[in-house]
Amino acid sequence: MFLASRLLKLQTKVITSGFSIDRLDGLVTWFKFNTNISVADQDSDSDADIAWTSSHTDNRVARQTVDAEEPTTTGGYIHFDGSNDNLDISSNIVLNEFVMFLALDLDDFTNETILGNSGSASDFLRFGFQNLPAKARFRRTSGTYNDDFVMSEDMTSGTPNLMTIRCFDNGSGTTVQIRRATKSGATITTNQVLEDTSSTFSFAQDLTINTIGVQSTSSAAMDGKLYELLVFSGTLSDANIALIEEDILNRVA
Ligand SMILES: [Ca+2]
Ligand SMILES: [Ca+2]
Ligand SMILES: [Ca+2]
């Protein structure tokens, strides 16, 4: 009996400590809170710049060297001014089915583009769409693949809102799910706040992302803090999504 309970304890410990985000299949990029953020001079013009390097093996860098477009980095998150701040990602992220985790504390809900494509106005993810804290607009490839979503909860300001976006083939098209997770004290609350099983936000169309904080130029700029961004290609189980949400929120909130 004693041995059995000791064995159980050991097994529990192994399983718990065995979870690690970077061991999961499909991880594309991981801009991690308070990690690999540099304000060193990148372009040798003797002023500060911003470079946030992925904590995954993709080694992507999200950077900005234009002073007026540089967000601030104090606090370990990236704070965008809602005017023109943005970071350019060093190589495109091209997705079909995906799961994306965005830890955000938006200062405002007036068309906040979190991710976009500097070469095209036709790929982006936006919250606070039409000035509503429960509304999102996602677009991929062209205006044809454009969806507006009303979530069952408002996003809030003042604490990280971890928004998980899952897009997958349901056999006859696309399912888009959005989850919202927050942490208060030690308690994490997670709700699925949207499911659309007939979305035109089709997995078969490439979603091409290469900029953070604006649509294609300075359009619909993000006003708020980005704590963490994780992107997986393909699908993840509900159990792994919950573990990732917990991992991120325990770091940022
Ligand atoms: Ca510089
Ligand atoms: Ca600069
Ligand atoms: Ca600015």
3-state DSSP percent of the chain in helix, strand and coil, to 5: 15, 45, 40
Q: What percent of the chain has pLDDT over 70?
A: 93
Ligand 3 mean position, distance from CA 56 (Å): 28
Q: Compute the distance from residue 46 Cα to the ligand 2 centre, in Å.
A: 8
Q: Where are the alpha helices (DSSP H) in the chain?
A: 2-18, 238-252
pLDDT classification of 12: cutoffs 50, 70, 90: very low
What is the per-residue pLDDT for 45? 95
> Mean per-residue pLDDT for 172-198?
95
The per-residue pLDDT of the chain, averaged, comes to 93
Query: Where is average pLDDT lowest: 15-24, 86-95, 204-213?
Result: 15-24
Domain range annotation of the chain? 25-252
The number of the ligand nearest the C-alpha atom of 45 reads 1
Q: Could you read off the pLDDT of 17-68 as tens digits, one per residue?
A: 678 999 999 999 999 999 999 999 999 999 999 999 999 999 999 999 999 9
- Is residue 1 over pLDDT 60? no
Integer CA distances (angstroms), 5 to 10, 11, 116, in order: 9, 10, 52
pLDDT at position 69 is: 97
Rounded Cα distance between 159 and 252, Å, is 9
Q: Does domain 25-252 have CATH number 3.30.450?
A: no
Residue 64 Cα to ligand 1 middle (Å): 9
Asked whether the predicted pLDDT for residue 213 surpasses 80, the reply is: yes
b (16+ CB within 10 A) / e for 21-54: beebeebbbbbbbeeebeeeebeeeeeebbbbbb
Residue 204: per-residue pLDDT: 87
Residue 68 CA to ligand 2 center (angstroms) comes to: 8
User: What does the pLDDT read at residue 10?
Assistant: 47
Q: How far is the CA of 28 from the centre of ligand 3 (A)?
A: 28
Question: Separation of 39 CA from ligand 1 center, angstroms?
Answer: 9
pLDDT at residue 144, rounded to an integer: 86
Higher pLDDT, 9 or 100: 100
Distance CA 226, CA 45 (A): 27
Question: How many angstroms separate the alpha carbon of residue 50 from the centre of ligand 2?
Answer: 7
Flag whether pLDDT at 231 surpasses 60: yes
